[in-house]
Amino acid sequence: MTIRFHSTTLADGRELIYVDDADTTLGPERSIDRRVLDPRPETARMRQDVLTGEWVSIASNRQNRVFMPPPDQDPLAPASAANPSEIPSNYDVAVFENRSPSFGPALEHEHAPTSLDDLAEIGIGRSRTSVGRCEVVCFSPDHEGSFGSQTVSRARTVIEAWAHRTAALSALPGIQQVFPFENRGAEIGVTLPHPHGQIYAYPFVTPRTNTLLRSIDAVGPDLFARVLESEQGSERVVLQGEYFTAFVPFAARWPIEVHVLPHRHVPDFAALSDAEKDELAPFYRRLLRGIDALYPTPTPYIAAWHQAPVHIGREAVRLMLQVTSPRRGADRLKYLAGSEAAMGAFIGDVAPEAQAAFIREGIEKTGND
């Protein structure tokens, strides 16, 4: 059996893709979205911060998005007569265009960025249209959960969806970088407890990646291979497989911070082999379950899949997961205060080696589950 994709459209024209598990019990039939919806919002505008050269999307349409609805009004649950949600049919995994996007829905616009050189220019009052695309990835029809609470089969389906969407979004006009991520927990700012993540397709290369590209220029195109070799030889490794290694980085910023690198160079999800994706499903699931086992209650986190830009740096920038959490105790969080928030100068509260030992204990509690 294979993972299958079914593409359709919602009532306002947004794309919806059903992704069926390899061992799905669902049939191929899908209901039509019969809602009457308002027109899609105008594409936002982004403004350049002349002090840094960075671009900020001003997406005011997001101000009224749903906040912690009751289970019977979950907008990511399969639709029912009492809950005309975003997804008309039952599903295993579902991907759809965000109703309140930070980028898009327009992919082309007369005021869109014309090139990376255009974006790199710096001046006062510069503005461009926030072309691009934002998608929601629902990991399950259940009302609550996370990636780590899914079965291995379901985790593999989500990974296949990430690979599929990375390839498709990278091929769209104006897209410079594709970013899959999961926000988990109210402490992070999550507004829906439904197990889901998002994918942003940006019209620019993100500030974090531009900084990385400068480091690659300084150190060399083999930077990631050298980082992996260094970390594998340290006491900071928390989990290792045939194709992936997870470790607490040498200069960790957050109380809980784990990075994952593939052992060979791949720029993004779309470049992973089937064997690598097959290992990643239980590997990543076990890592997240181990982080959840650190404390009596689930750990809030941001799981960020850094991928190479679409058009530059692909021979040097490697696919990398960075899981970060502000949790520094059972009932304590690290807040970004003056040095971190204002100056970007982080102060670590715990030695990375000690945190690696703590996270290994959490992973060991889960066994091979």
Catalytic one of 6, 164, 196, 265: 196
What's 300's DSSP letter?
P
List pLDDT tens digits, range 218-259.
999 999 999 999 999 999 999 999 999 999 999 999 999 999
Q: Encode pLDDT of 131-159 as tens digits.
A: 999 999 999 999 999 999 999 999 999 99
Question: What domains are there in the chain, each with its CATH number?
Answer: 4-205 (3.30.428.10), 209-365 (3.30.428.10)
User: Rounded to an integer, what distance in angstroms lies between the CA atom of residue 105 and that of residue 309?
Assistant: 20
Q: What is the DSSP string of 320-335?
A: EEEEEE-EEETTEE--
Q: Is the pTM of this model over 0.75?
A: yes
Residue 64 confidence (pLDDT) above 70:
no
Return the structure tokens found at 297. 């209650």
Q: How far is it, in rounded angstroms, from Cα 68 to Cα 65?
A: 10
**Is 196 part of the annotated catalytic residue set?**
yes
- Residue 171: per-residue pLDDT: 98
